Structure 1
Amino acid sequence: MTKVARLYHEQGLRQPAIADKLHLSQSRVSRLLKEAVAAGIVRTVVVPPEGVHPDLEDELQHLFGLDDVVVADPSDDDDASILNALGAAAAVYLETSLTGGQRVGLSSWSATLLATVDAMSPKTVRTATEIVQVIGGVGAPGVQVMATRLTDRLARVTGAVPRYLAAPGVVSSRSGRDALLDDPFVAEVAELWNDLSVVLVGIGSVQPSPLLRNSGNSLSESETGALRDAGAVGDICLRFFDDQGRVIDSDLHERVLGISTEQLFDVPRRVGVAGGARKFEAIRAALRGGWLSVLVTDVATARRLLADA
């Protein structure tokens, strides 16, 4: 048995050659190889290449009950390197997991999501049916178009039909939001939120990044202050939650024109892309609250999540 195993695994001989060499039948050689594995004589060892972290991914998946985890390994610990690594990792995940029949929801303008779609390459076959914008643009009117551009870009690389939400993400009152939802074009897109296969989201912290703040694509100082006072540590699609992932009580939620918390949780595959020290509390809270089924993050954040879950 050991001789057969060594000839096959160490010397690279094929089973017919081993059979001729040892005067055995091929079926006998095949049985001996299987028995060698069962007896522990042959053990398979997978050595991950540098920059791949399957153990971290498995531990996070088990700890938070996730369906999948992708851990990116940035070339450096600065924000730009982390962003590029997250975008590249999320792009590979989407390119390998979208099979062509999914209706994909996409949250509003996000640096990580922009990096993701920019890293994706157009395919010769369609990998999604529709890309549905699940929240309006946020911030200054000139910046709100970024959400539309993000939807358009992902639709083009997947060969899908883009479904735009031509409305702001936050309005001044609940009645204003309801009036917009009565618009037939807005209502048509909003109806699709009930039947998404996948949703791709960023994870926001209450304190916006300098990029978001300078772009005007963020809430006002008074709004973020009120959210912090209410215990918010982060958001997904402008649905803010505390450090345990529980939705906080805020009238802002009644003014958001976008997918509801209930609709979001009903999506079978919820893919969150986020990393970096500034986002840690928000990512951890989102995982604690079950907001995600798939996480794409960086290696430093992954290790910190395991150490401080």
Structure 2
Amino acid sequence: MDNNELKLLITIAQMYYEQNLTQNEISKKLSIYRTTISRLLKKAQEQGIVSFSINYELSSTFLLEKQLKELFNLTHVIVTHNSDSSTIQDKLNTMGLACADYLKQIICDGDILGLSWGSSLAAVAEQLDASSYKDILCVPMVGGPAGKLESKYHVNTIVYNIASKLHGKSLLMDFPAILDEQFLRDAIVKSQHYQQISKYWDSLSIAIFGIGSCEVSDKSIWYGFYGDGDDVKPINQEPIAGDICSRFYSYRGQPIQTTISETIINIHLQQLKKAKHRIGVAQSIEKADAMIGAMKGGYLNTLITTKETAQAILDRTLSPD
């Protein structure tokens, strides 16, 4: 490229990118065809006269979302960010708002929503704005707690509150998630009320659920649902990584039969996977293994979590160990 052509490329680039002139304006000023201006601007990029860069630092969560999406073949990832002084409730509220906003993007008239219990889902219900849809139905995907649990975390409370805000209908569970004996569960499974709810588990449009782990340091909610936890033990040798709706799985994402598997009233993981949108909402570095297992198992295709949790998942997954 000779010196005259180099000067022309610089001149056109300067007029277009610094003076903000249009290609038509440059064409008239330099008496050059507009199509030639377009070709020369492209050449200026190819020759390195003009270069572009994306400032990813402006969105500190963008790269985390991109990595998680690609690593676990997810449809959508939302990583929220709070200040260092934020409380756990602040983080839950931010995630709840993110989930509520995403729900408004995907929900359609006639959708059937399946919901679980817990603090993350309670935050979603709290942050969701009132909207009007036709023929929305919200159903629980698991029964109620066997132990002590604040009512705002109860699946029936969450189902009712979200249905109310969407101007939809709700079906509630009138029985606990964990029964003392298998024959009690078998009797409930045959009941008309159970059959009415469970038939919708195969046709969920959207499933929104928390991800449980017995590894969290504050086990008050876990114990509130499962009691002291001594009864939740794997039948095989593979340890439990986490649970969704009281269905347990390993770090590899494989379902695990436990000592309570035959006494639980809840959706099966294979039924859950039929939902078009499977949204896992969870946070805590201590839950990293549980969330990895859930993604490896394909139980969720949308993840909503915090920045530090997202980083812990990546560190754990990409570690050479």
TM-score, normalised to structure 1's length? 0.83
Structure 2: distance between partners of 1:39 and 1:126? 54
8 Å Cα contact 2:207/2:278 also seen in 1: yes
SS at match of 1:62: helix
Q: Which amino acid aligns with 2:124?
A: T
Query: Which 10-residue stretch deviates more, 58-67 or 85-94?
Result: 85-94
**Which residue does 2:252 correspond to in 1?**
244
Unaligned 5+ residue runs, structure 1? none
Pairwise CA RMSD: 3.2
CA contact (8 A) 1:82 1:276 kept: no
CA displacement at 1:139 relative to structure 2: 2.6
Residues 201-233 of structure 1: CA deviation (Å, up to 9, x unaligned): 10001256444157x333443213668986212
Aligned position for 1:158: 166
Letter in 2 for 1:134: M
Residue 288 of structure 1 aligns with which residue? Answer: 296
| CA deviation map 1:129-169 (0-9, x unaligned) | 32221111123488578211101222233333323233221
Q: Does 1:181 align with 2:180?
A: no
Aligned to 1:60: 68
> Identical aligned pairs, as a percentage?
28
Q: Secondary structure of the residue that 1:164 maps to in structure 2? A: coil
One-letter amino acid of the structure 2 residue matched with residue 133 of structure 1: P
Q: Which runs of 5+ in 2 are unaligned?
A: 1-8
- The residue that corresponds to 1:224 in the other structure is 232
**Is 2:232–2:258's contact at 8 Å kept on the other side of the alignment?**
no
Give the 3 Å change call, closer, same or farther, for CA 233–241 of structure 1 in structure 2: same
Q: 1:178 and 1:189, CA in 2 relative to 1: closer, same or farther beyond 3 A?
A: same
The alpha carbon displacement at 1:20 in A equals 4.3
Over 3 Å counting, the alpha-carbon distance change for 1:258 and 1:28 in structure 2 is same
Q: Secondary structure at the match of 1:138?
A: coil
CA contact (8 A) 1:206 1:224 kept: no
Amino acid across the alignment from 2:96: G
> Matched residue pairs, number?
306
Of residues 148, 156, 165 in structure 2, which corresponds to 1:148?
A: 156
Report whether the alignment pairs 1:233 with 2:241: yes
TM-score norm. by structure 2 comes to 0.80
**Equivalent in the alignment of 1:79:** 88
Tell whether 2:115 aligns with 1:103: no
Deviations 1:250-284 (A, max 9, x none): 24122111111220122232111111122122112
Structure 2: distance between partners of 1:241 and 1:135: 16
Cα distance change on mapping 1:18 and 1:227 into 2, 3 Å: farther
Deviates further, 163-172 or 258-267: 163-172
Distance 2:21 2:110 in 1: 43
Q: What is the one-letter code of the residue matched to 1:138? A: P
**Per-residue CA shift, 1:93-151, capped at 9, x if unaligned?**
223333445322111x210111122122223x429832221111123488578211101
Counterpart residue identity of residue 131, structure 1:
C
Deviates more, 1:165-174 or 1:134-143: 134-143
Instruction: Write the distance in 1 (CA, Å) between the matches of 2:257 and 2:157.
Output: 31
